[in-house]
Amino acid sequence: MSMPISIRLDDDIRVTLEVEAKARNVGLSAYLRELATSEAKRVRRERIRQQSQAVGEYLTSSPEAKAFYEDWGTPQSKLP
């Protein structure tokens, strides 16, 4: 669900953003929405990377985690 928000921009910032929006043939609102969406995606990806790194660091430093993955490991074909 989308909700409208209100922001205050300094005049020079607003002019800069309006010029860029016009160059892209979109309105200021659409351009700001595009910028906000892009930044939110970047922030989410960065958070996921940081969490993945924390998991990796835990796995390499925890004997229990190492043992789990050694037992779990890659399936091996056991031929008779």
Q: What is the pTM of this model?
A: 0.68
Q: Return the number of other C-beta atoms located less than 10 Å from residue 65's C-beta.
A: 13
**pLDDT of 75 strictly over 70:** no
What's the pLDDT at 79? 63
What's the pLDDT at 36? 96
Closest by CA to 32, choosing from 59, 64, 61, 6, is 6
What's the pLDDT at 68? 79
pLDDT in tens, 7-53: 999 999 999 999 999 999 999 999 999 999 999 999 999 999 999 99
